[in-house]
Amino acid sequence: MTTLRHLTAAGALTLLMGSTALAAPPGDTLVVGLSADITTFEPANISSRDNANIARHIFGTLYSISGDGSVSPDMAENLEISEDGLKYVYTLRQGLTCHDGEALTAEDAAYTFNRAKDPANGFTGNTPGFVFSSVGFESAEALDDRRLQITIGRKNPIAFGLLAEVYVHCKDSYEKMSLDDAASNPIGSGPYKLASWTKGSEVVLEKVGEPARMNKIIWRIIPEASTRSAELIAGNVDIITNVAPDQINAVNASGNAKVQAVQGTRRMYVGFNLSDAFKAMPGGDAIQDPNVRRALQYAVDVPTICKQLLNFECVRATGIVNPPNANKSLEPYPYDPAMAEKLLDEAGWPRAADGTRFTIRFQAGRGRYLNDQNVVLAVAQYLEEVGLKVEVDIMEWASVYVPLIRKRDVGPLFFLGSGGALWSPLYDMTDLARVESGTNYTHWNDPRWFDRWADIANAKTPEEQRVIIDEMLKVFYDDGPWLHMYFQPDFYGVSERVDFVARPDEKVYLFATGLK
Amino acid sequence: MWTFIARRLLQSVVVILGVTLISFIALQIGGDPTYLFVSERATEEEIAMVRAALGFDNPLHIQYLTYLGNIAQGEFGNSLSYRQPAMEIVLGALPATIELTIFAMTFAITLAVPLGVFAALYRGTPVDGGIMTMAMFGQSVPGFWLGIMMILFFGLALRILPISGHVPFLLPLLQGEFSKAFQNLPNSLYYLIMPGIAAGFYSLSRNARLVRSSMLEVLSQDYVRTARSKGLTERAVVIHHALRNAWLPVITMIGLEFGFLLGGVVVIETVFSYPGIGRLVFNAINQRDIPVVQAAVVVLSVIFISLNLIVDLVYARIDPRVKL
């Protein structure tokens, strides 16, 4: 009996002591709840958005892109681009240092780029896998202590913005570290340093420089959406990403937090795969005709899908480019099923006796985008209402759908999102830089689009370039390979105690965030 | 007995080989994992380079045999996501899951046995009905639903338990950081209450029903009647005569459930943001991080097989009818 009493007392004491863990975050600390795990702090291997959001606080970049798409100097104070567009010479700010105390010079910045490029390191992150392959990066060298020259293989109007995504770090520390060490012990150049990392649980950053308002940022990994919302409402975290649409009202009603909904830059669309292989499939022949594709634009009520399934009032996309940079003369296609039926009749696809015009397969992945499965089912339903028989094929995202997408072997209809940006229309348009581009999942090959890239490269003024862009976007709007949907909304839960303002580009940068 | 153990160990090697082969094939069915590690804009040459760097350019049987050769030397390769030794990552996540499993099983067994005994002793009464209704509920509700309800009630409404997270105890203990481990212990237990109960509730329900039916069978045996006729107290009859025999099927079940919980608490770990091996493997499968999946499969297989062996040995020890 005595033993039982001791055990009971110990249990009560445990609870009492444990209850201190329920305290709200201290005044100098921000706590952020993320949905995805963090896998590495190797700057050249980072690729996921959550991972990049944390890394950006640890590492500086040459230039910064703000939430509205404007570009400002960061570690560099000046940039000169050679006349042929192949050499970028950055002048670094004075007084830069790394977290190991070493001065950061152009030699360190050059080392950063060349290290990421080195095939011996086997890096596959955003820097070598996306930035370098997009710009055709060749080499980087220090012209002196402050001037860094980057050479790219081909003239690229968006190279400047892409190169701003590279995380700069110091040579000496990284030369001493093994690749394993570098993956978990970043020696950065940004305003925060990594204080601790508990895999699968949390990352703690501590302030070491400016700009930074809070002394500590704790990034907690909370994969389940309802748990993230509960932690926010309970006041244990200050900001959460990816609030589930069905939890928005609960968060707003809590009195402790509000949901900030922003129209993101990710372009959601239904693609028409126009390849020869799909042309032979049912429905694949019909969508070859631009008139059929245009007819189907009228068949889908996109604003209603946004409102009912995403809990967001969206404006339908007019094309591949984010709204601030879109062709302003284009109006979103209205929902007009009668018009869709009329155009389909005119295109030579009347309803048969059973009411069907043609059968078509619609493929999609599950669980990657906001409420994606239901969005796909809703689109299929709208298409069926104008006489298509849609065979929906929803697959597991990572292991089944992604390999098919990467092989451009999905369709004839498929649902997909593509990350965009606000700082340049060309960034969004380069998904379709070439017919054979890996991101041209539709195999679209209209010369009125693809032949104009040379004109853009040769444009003498931004105004001249803008005219060409608008003409291309008009072609894309009329006869393009996308059924235009929406820009995916992002929902951030924000505690009433902090002054965080969500950005449309999925970036969670907390340099200027603090307590109200 | 030693012959039995030796035979089981040999069988275990075959089982582990089979498990690695099945998991290897299952991971390959989805197609070339290289595409998950390259940019959408990568050229064919870049994709080929990454494929070679990740070792996916060899024929499948070569990949598998290379993998077997490596694990024979204790080398499981580097995680494709973390870029660190896969086994190190798996063993780093294992202690958290062991904590959760021990807590859940302790909760389940310490309640299941008395509840099952009471239900059997008071068969047909409201006590029996109440306990069996609870057991039916526990076996019917999904773990994630129970977890979320507990979060809403104890974490949000009452605010007496932490909603998510984990404070490690076992890991610092194994690393020799004893003061840190024992300093963490109160918070570690505190953070385990909700996930532990959510993970163990199904086991509690099943074992309570098992103990009840087993007790009912034993209580009707002649030797129990003899014990009573000798004038023993009911307590002595139940504890020393009936329960000892009613335990046998429960012990088998405990061993299996312990192994099952070690690898199968992914939903609970996700709901409570608990950084255990279930969530690690789930993420690794999604990211096609084959070395991590394979290392976890081997570790979990070894644990599962060991637990089964231990259960068999314990069974033979407590049941004289069983000869090994």
Average pLDDT over residues A185-204: 92
Average pLDDT over residues A403-421: 89
- Sheet hosting strand A358-366, strand order edge to edge: A192-198, A202-207, A216-221, A29-34, A239-240, A482-495, A257-272, A413-418, A358-366, A388-396
pLDDT of residue A338: 96
Over the stretch A370-397, which tens digit does the pLDDT of each residue have? 899 999 999 999 999 999 999 999 998 8
Q: How confident is the model at residue A16 (pLDDT cuts 50, 70, 90)?
A: very low
β pairing state of A216-221 and A202-207: antiparallel
B112 burial type by CB count under 10 A (0-12 exposed, 13-18 middle, 19+ buried): buried
**First vs last C-alpha separation in chain B:** 5
Closest CA to A14 of B175, B275, B169, B115: B169
Q: What is the dihedral of CA A89, A60, A223, B171, to 10 degrees?
A: 130
Residues of B whose CB is below 8 A from A399: 29-31, 285-286, 288
| Cross-chain residue pair B35–A403, CB shorter than 8 Å | yes
3-state DSSP percent of chain A in helix, strand and coil, to 5 = 35, 25, 40
| Tokens matching residue A356 | 């069907």
| Tokens matching residue A404 | 């098919």
Distances (CA, A) of B68 to A2, A164, B32, B297: 55, 43, 20, 13
Q: Cα–Cα distance between A19 and B25 in angstroms, integer?
A: 47
Over the stretch A264-322, which tens digit does the pLDDT of each residue have? 999 999 999 999 999 989 999 999 999 999 999 999 999 999 999 999 999 999 999 99
Nearest to B35 among A19, A236, A406 (CB): A406
Nearest to B273 among A124, A224, A400 (CB): A224
Neighbours of B295 (CB within 10 A): 25
The ipTM value here is: 0.80
Residues of A whose CB is below 8 A from B164: 220, 222, 224, 227, 230-231
| Cross-chain residue pair B190–A403, CB shorter than 8 Å | no
B130 contacts: CB under 8 Å, gap ≥ 6: none
pLDDT of residue A246: 87
Check pLDDT > 50 for residue A56: yes
| Cross-chain residue pair A200–B280, CB shorter than 8 Å | yes
Nearest to A403 among B31, B50, B273 (CB): B31
Residues of B whose CB is below 8 A from A202: 165
Nearest to A180 among B29, B83, B275 (CB): B83
Average pLDDT over residues A163-171: 91
Q: Cα–Cα distance between B160 and B178 in angstroms, integer?
A: 28
Check pLDDT > 70 for residue A247: yes
pLDDT of residue B288: 77
Residues of A whose CB is below 8 A from B191: 18, 21
* pTM score of the predicted model: 0.82
Over the stretch A314-339, which tens digit does the pLDDT of each residue have? 999 999 999 989 999 999 999 999 99
Q: Locate the chain A residue with the closest alpha carbon to B162.
A: A22
pLDDT of residue B324: 67
Q: Cα–Cα distance between B108 and B256 in angstroms, integer?
A: 14
> A54, A192 in Cβ contact below 8 A?
no
| Cross-chain residue pair A439–B41, CB shorter than 8 Å | yes
Q: Cα–Cα distance between A435 and A454 in angstroms, integer?
A: 14
Nearest to A18 among B42, B152, B186 (CB): B186
pLDDT of residue B180: 92
Q: How confident is the model at residue A8 (pLDDT cuts 50, 70, 90)?
A: very low
Q: Cα–Cα distance between A378 and A372 in angstroms, integer?
A: 10
Q: What is the DSSP letter of A409?
A: -
Minimal CA separation from A14 to chain B, in Å: 5
Q: How confident is the model at residue A153 (pLDDT cuts 50, 70, 90)?
A: confident
Q: Cα–Cα distance between B77 and B295 in angstroms, integer?
A: 9
Average pLDDT over residues A469-486: 96
Closest CA to A47 of B26, B282, B44, B50: B50
Alpha helices, DSSP H only, in A36-132? 49-58, 106-117, 126
Measured at the CA of A360, the angle between CA A358 and CA A364, to 5 degrees, comes to 160
pLDDT of residue B263: 67
Q: How confident is the model at residue A355 (pLDDT cuts 50, 70, 90)?
A: very high
Give the H/E segment covering residue B250: helix B243-264
Q: How confident is the model at residue A12 (pLDDT cuts 50, 70, 90)?
A: very low
| Cross-chain residue pair B186–A236, CB shorter than 8 Å | no
Question: Does residue A500 or residue A5 have the better pLDDT?
Answer: A500
pLDDT in tens, chain B (324 residues): 788 888 888 888 888 888 888 888 877 776 677 777 776 667 777 778 778 877 788 888 888 888 888 888 888 888 888 878 889 999 999 999 999 999 999 999 899 988 998 899 899 899 999 999 999 999 899 888 899 999 999 998 888 999 999 999 999 999 899 999 999 999 999 999 999 999 999 999 998 999 999 888 888 888 888 888 888 888 888 888 888 778 777 877 887 788 778 766 888 998 998 999 988 988 888 777 888 988 898 888 888 888 888 888 887 777 777 666
Q: Cα–Cα distance between A289 and A496 in angstroms, integer?
A: 53
Give the H/E segment covering residue B60: helix B60-72
Q: Cα–Cα distance between A367 and A396 in angstroms, integer?
A: 8
The mean of the pLDDT values for chain A is: 89
pLDDT of residue A407: 82
A354 burial type by CB count under 10 A (0-12 exposed, 13-18 middle, 19+ buried): exposed
Alpha helices, DSSP H only, in B73-221? 86-121, 126-140, 143-150, 170-174, 178-219
Top mean-pLDDT range of A67-81, A82-96, A282-296, B104-118 = A282-296
Q: Where are the beta strands (DSSP E) in A68-160?
A: 71-73, 76-81, 87-92, 137-142, 147-152
> A143, A106 in Cβ contact below 8 A?
yes
Q: How confident is the model at residue A363 (pLDDT cuts 50, 70, 90)?
A: very high
Q: Cα–Cα distance between B12 and A377 in angstroms, integer?
A: 47
Q: How confident is the model at residue A14 (pLDDT cuts 50, 70, 90)?
A: very low
| Cross-chain residue pair A18–B92, CB shorter than 8 Å | no
Over the stretch A110-135, which tens digit does the pLDDT of each residue have? 999 999 988 888 787 888 878 887 78
Minimal CA separation from B99 to chain A, in Å: 15
Q: Cα–Cα distance between B196 and B166 in angstroms, integer?
A: 11
Q: How confident is the model at residue A17 (pLDDT cuts 50, 70, 90)?
A: very low
Check pLDDT > 70 for residue A187: yes
Cis bond leading into A412, ω under 30°? yes
pLDDT of residue A3: 45
Residues of A whose CB is below 8 A from B276: 200
Check pLDDT > 50 for residue A10: no
